[in-house]
Amino acid sequence: MTTNTAAITENPDQDDVLAAGIRDVRMSFDYGNYTDALNACEVLLARRPGHAEALLLLGLISFELEEPQRALLLLGQAHETAPDVREYADALANVNAQLGEVGEALYYAKLATILQPHWMGDALLPEKYSKFFEGLRNANPHLFRNRAQRLLEKGNAADALALCEKQLELTADDIDTWRFLARAAQEVGNIERVLDACEFLSAEEDLSADDYDVLARALAKVGRFADAEQAHRNAIEHEPDNPSLSQSRIRTLAAQYGNTDGHLDRENSAWVAQNLVTTASPSQAPTPAAVGERPLRIGYVGGELYGGPLADLLAPILTLHDPKRVKIYCYAANARYDTASESLANKSARWTDIHGVDPLTVAQILRGDGIDIAVDLSGHGPDNQLRMFAQRPAPICVSWLGTALPAGANFDYQLASEALLPASEPAGDSAANVYRLPKTHLAHRPFNAPEMVAPLPARMQPHLTLGVMAPLAQLGETCVRDWAEILAAIPNARIVVANVEGLKDAAVHRLHELAATMSIRERIDVADLENLDPDGYGFFDHFDLMLDPQPNSRFLETCRALWMGVPVLAVAGTGPLGRQAADALSAADRLEWVFDSTQARIAGISDLAGDLGALADLRAGLRDEIATTALYDVAGFTRSLEDAYHAL
């Protein structure tokens, strides 16, 4: 169906300016410069509004830019404007063929055979859009779905989600597209779209174990824990031997209960008994003489080594590790690899991608690298490697940043601090021994923080603003009951909750309903973090004081709040999950802001709020006071960490 240029007849309306514009678009198009082609096409349309030639070219550009519905619309408009011209039917035939719309493609292909060629012939229509049978052979009705699947496998969920939405414009009932969309939407935090996808899937067919797991995690995100529990149980019932499904349930239980009354310890013990079977004996420990001849080889193993809280906290430590004392190996179990991953890789002696690799093979990789101490960063977190640690990949296995979610058996040591895990409290089943670092289990280096601390908001408004920063689902009845007591005692106070995950109506409505049951709905605001705080610090400009939540305490948020001059008032909770803020405040020499009850915290809030002048002075000087404490001494903490490795 290629155009026969010899048969082109002279057109009395031939326009040299139009021809020049078409050639400009074609030149950019043929070289793949679609932005330039689009600009040239807009110039063409400005000169000849509504002309079929411009509509055709704009349609082809839209198709190349993966906008198939817009492409078909524009090409259809071009054909309607000039229904007797072959090239417009040719383009419609080819695009429909590539999209797998065979009926439409054959209709326009047959139509094109009886139409007249355009006066510009091949200069108008790019060659590949006149090769109908080639387009038909390459037909791919699921073009965007397949691309989305590949992007998901690489950890690029945002682009995968966009491609799934494009695919649904073409094949609205495609089950696999909805399945990929659910996973992509889960990764980017579009929980409403996850629920839409799971509703479609459940109506069309029985959900798979993975589908139920995605649904459970989405329900947990918006605080629908009873529904999430049922979805988790459905997933486990479908695949009872899949340990990752029960770990997903443990994460949901952590969000709901923390480790109140040893809840997580019991779940962890049950998971360990069912899923961790050691098939390898401990590796041979290095002799002191051998270690003295070289740096210790430390293997950091995690499933979230990409842009996020873990990378923010780990990156400066890797930078400051002394290569004469330790040699750093990173093992990334996450599919996503971004600029933060690249930065971590550059700070390591070796970076190994272990995503999707079976536990036995990963353990062999660590042994092959001669790792002396393998350090777990994930616990029961996403893409964790607990089953790999059960294979004893190194002479010494240590649980560190994964301790917030009980880490399971087969760890020789758990790294903590006295504030995080007091010696008087049993460690449970997570490790054989607890090694307490001198002052804190972690340190923080502020990144992209504003140079100036904002003035105290209460000096400029009639109320005191108490801030809360945590995932909305983790703010349950315990938190709201505490808030009700605080607001009853401090009549001029309001609570502003930072919506750190940007969740929409369902999660916000749930929190408002909880507040209404406690008669404090009118004194609770939920603010979108994305709009107010793109760099992680701006939100604190709006807080006079910050309330650390229970049962899931917050470490990084506490560090950032203190740096911005905002006192953080915490109730010491249970286990590492409940003591994150207590550990940070202890390291910042502010233990007076850690209380043993809600009533004691109310008294502390009243004392600070009773003198706004003193509170404003405290805010202005707090950064200078805490900057030299252990909480922000990353270099000193890194030395302590290295000392611990050598002591082990």
Give pLDDT tens digits for 453-473. Answer: 999 999 999 999 999 999 888
10: confidence class by pLDDT, cuts 50, 70, 90 = very low
- Give yes or no: residues 256 and 376 share one domain: no
Give just the sign of the alpha carbon dihedral 416, 422, 423, 428: negative
pLDDT digits (tens, 9 = 90+) for 543-572: 999 999 999 999 999 999 999 999 999 998
Do 598 and 622 meet the contact criterion of CB atoms below 8 Å apart? Answer: no
pLDDT of residue 395: 95
How many distinct structural domains can be found in the chain? 4
Indicate if the pLDDT at residue 428 is higher than 60: no
pLDDT above 90 as % of the chain: 48
- Give yes or no: residues 128 and 202 share one domain: no
The rounded distance, in Å, linking the Cα atoms of 254 and 256 is 5
- Give yes or no: residues 594 and 467 share one domain: yes
- Give yes or no: residues 127 and 63 share one domain: yes
Residue 444 domain flag: no
- Give yes or no: residues 298 and 251 share one domain: no
pLDDT above 70 as % of the chain: 89
Q: In the sheet that 396-399 helps form, which strands lie side by side, from edge to edge?
A: 350-353, 326-332, 296-302, 373-376, 396-399, 413-416, 433-436
- Give yes or no: residues 476 and 551 share one domain: yes
- The one-letter amino acid at 348: S
Of 379, 404, 408, 378, whose CA–CA distance to 269 is shortest?
408
- List Cβ neighbours of 374 (8 Å cut-off, separation of 6 or more): 299, 301, 366, 389, 393, 394, 396, 397, 398
- Give yes or no: residues 504 and 397 share one domain: no
- Give yes or no: residues 423 and 302 share one domain: yes
Residue 282 domain flag: no
Q: Which residue among 241, 275, 309 closes a domain?
A: 275
Do 463 and 493 meet the contact criterion of CB atoms below 8 Å apart? Answer: yes
Higher pLDDT, 5 or 334: 334
Indicate if the pLDDT at residue 324 is higher than 50: yes
Indicate if the pLDDT at residue 353 is higher than 50: yes
Mean pLDDT, residues 387-392 taken together: 91
pLDDT digits (tens, 9 = 90+) for 583-641: 999 999 999 999 999 999 999 999 999 999 999 999 999 999 999 999 999 999 999 99
Mean pLDDT, residues 394-404 taken together: 85
- List Cβ neighbours of 260 (8 Å cut-off, separation of 6 or more): 551, 574, 578
CA 337, distance to chain mean position in Å, is 12
323: confidence class by pLDDT, cuts 50, 70, 90 = very high
Mean pLDDT, residues 106-117 taken together: 83
Q: What is the CATH number of the domain that holds 301?
A: 3.40.50.11380
Indicate if the pLDDT at residue 204 is higher than 80: no
pLDDT digits (tens, 9 = 90+) for 51-83: 788 888 888 888 887 788 888 898 999 898 889
- Give yes or no: residues 198 and 266 share one domain: yes
| 564 exposure class (CB count in 10 Å sphere: 0-12, 13-18, 19+) | buried
Higher pLDDT, 6 or 489: 489
Q: What is the CATH number of the domain that holds 154?
A: 1.25.40.10
pLDDT of residue 531: 60
Of 119, 121, 110, 172, whose CA–CA distance to 145 is shortest?
172
Residue 645 domain flag: no
pLDDT of residue 12: 40
Residue 335 domain flag: yes
- Give yes or no: residues 207 and 267 share one domain: yes
pLDDT of residue 38: 81
Q: What is the CATH number of the domain that holds 622?
A: 3.40.50.2000
Residue 280 domain flag: no
- Give yes or no: residues 387 and 527 share one domain: no
Residue 447 domain flag: no
Residue 297 domain flag: yes
pLDDT of residue 139: 56
Do 85 and 116 meet the contact criterion of CB atoms below 8 Å apart? Answer: yes
Instruction: Name the residue with tokens 């850690």.
Output: 594
- List Cβ neighbours of 535 (8 Å cut-off, separation of 6 or more): 448, 449
Indicate if the pLDDT at residue 173 is higher than 80: yes
Domain limits at 244?
Answer: 143-275
Indicate if the pLDDT at residue 529 is higher than 70: no
- pTM here? 0.77
Do 490 and 605 meet the contact criterion of CB atoms below 8 Å apart? Answer: yes
- The one-letter amino acid at 529: L
The rounded distance, in Å, linking the Cα atoms of 28 and 303 is 43
Q: Which residue among 122, 137, 152 closes a domain?
A: 137
pLDDT of residue 3: 39
The rounded distance, in Å, linking the Cα atoms of 180 and 142 is 12
Residue 443 domain flag: no
Query: Pairing state of beta strands 296-302 and 326-332?
Result: parallel
pLDDT digits (tens, 9 = 90+) for 84-93: 888 888 888 8
Cis bond before residue 551 (omega within 30° of 0) = yes
Query: Pairing state of beta strands 396-399 and 413-416?
Result: parallel
Query: Residue 375: left (phi > 0), alpha (psi -120 to 50), or beta?
Result: beta
Higher pLDDT, 482 or 264: 482
Give just the sign of the alpha carbon dihedral 101, 106, 107, 112: positive
- Give yes or no: residues 493 and 626 share one domain: yes
Mean pLDDT, residues 343-371 taken together: 95
